[in-house]
């Protein structure tokens, strides 16, 4: 059975970080110090800049986006194998009444060994089970078991993306709490009633601005990422379901143990 290579994920991670750094740099140059800049990337005159909560959220967003692109490419490969490789007979009059016909399929599938697609391995394991037991029911059971295992593995492959989707709103909530805490900490009733009340209000609104800015950015980025996550995961889950239907209809249902020899 194929193993999921981490090479694509590592490359996606590195590229995502570089793109995020470039994105933050461009925003810093063009809108740094403006109100839009304060909203999107934080205040550039802060001592901790560029390590603001907004920039951290941008970094996580691009990392999550990179991981989802990897998953989208994986789903695309599955559809290519389903629609273009033609491993199994699909005609109404095609049948698998001999071991030779099944072995020819196995030979074609083995040429695709080492690919990252799920379908070739699914066909190979199903044929191996049939040759071992000569039982269609056992073959069908192995097919269903492998589909369940692949579905579980598929869910695990989205663990990083789901963590990123969770982390971005969390950073926004942290910014909200920090901003409100700073606003309340800087609040001085004597200043509000004295000559410095204008300055006091500026400090108060500045700290509250941090709270609302991080909330807005986190909600926007997470909303985009959650939508893409659902679209990509749905596509990959459908590719697994179609692979199972393809093997069931065009391999398992065409096998006739009484005629095979």
Q: How far apart are CA 84 and CA 240, in angstroms?
A: 16
**Tokens 């009484």, residue?**
258
User: Mean pLDDT lowest for which of 8-12, 161-165, 200-204, 239-243?
Assistant: 200-204
**Tokens 């194929």, residue?**
2
Q: What is the pTM of this model?
A: 0.82
Q: Residue 255 is encoded by which pair of tokens?
A: 């096998």
Sign of CA dihedral 10, 23, 218, 33: positive
pLDDT of amino acid 193: 57
How far the first Cα of the chain sits from its last, in Å, is: 27
pLDDT tens across 83-124, in order? 777 778 777 766 777 778 888 888 888 777 655 678 888 888
Q: Residue 96 is encoded by which pair of tokens?
A: 């698998």
pLDDT tens across 191-207, in order? 555 556 656 566 666 66
């Amino acid at each position: 059975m194929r193993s999921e290579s981490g090479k694509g994920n590592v490359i996606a991670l590195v590229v995502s970080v570089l793109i995020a750094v470039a994105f933050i740099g461009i925003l810093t140059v063009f809108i740094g110090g403006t109100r839009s800049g304060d909203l999107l990337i934080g205040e550039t005159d802060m001592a901790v800049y560029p390590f603001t909560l907004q920039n951290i959220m941008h970094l996580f967003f691009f990392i999550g986006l990179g991981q989802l692109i990897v998953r989208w490419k994986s789903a695309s490969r599955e559809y290519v194998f389903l629609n273009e490789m033609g491993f199994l007979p699909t005609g109404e009059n095609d049948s698998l009444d001999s071991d030779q016909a099944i072995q020819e399929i196995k030979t074609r599938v083995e040429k695709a060994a080492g690919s990252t697609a799920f379908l070739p391995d699914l066909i190979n394991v199903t044929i191996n089970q049939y040759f071992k037991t000569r039982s269609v029911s056992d073959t069908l059971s192995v097919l269903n078991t492998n589909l369940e295992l692949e579905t579980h593995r598929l869910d695990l492959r989205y663990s990083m993306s789901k963590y990123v989707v969770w982390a971005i709103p969390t950073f926004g909530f942290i910014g909200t709490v920090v901003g409100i805490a700073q606003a309340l900490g800087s609040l001085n009733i004597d200043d509000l009633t004295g000559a410095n009340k204008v300055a006091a209000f500026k400090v108060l609104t500045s700290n509250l601005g941090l709270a609302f800015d991080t909330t807005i950015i986190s909600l926007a980025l997470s909303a985009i990422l959650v939508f893409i996550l659902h679209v990509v995961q749905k596509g990959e889950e459908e590719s697994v379901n179609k692979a199972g239907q393809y093997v069931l209809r065009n391999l398992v249902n065409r096998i006739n143990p009484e005629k095979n020899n």
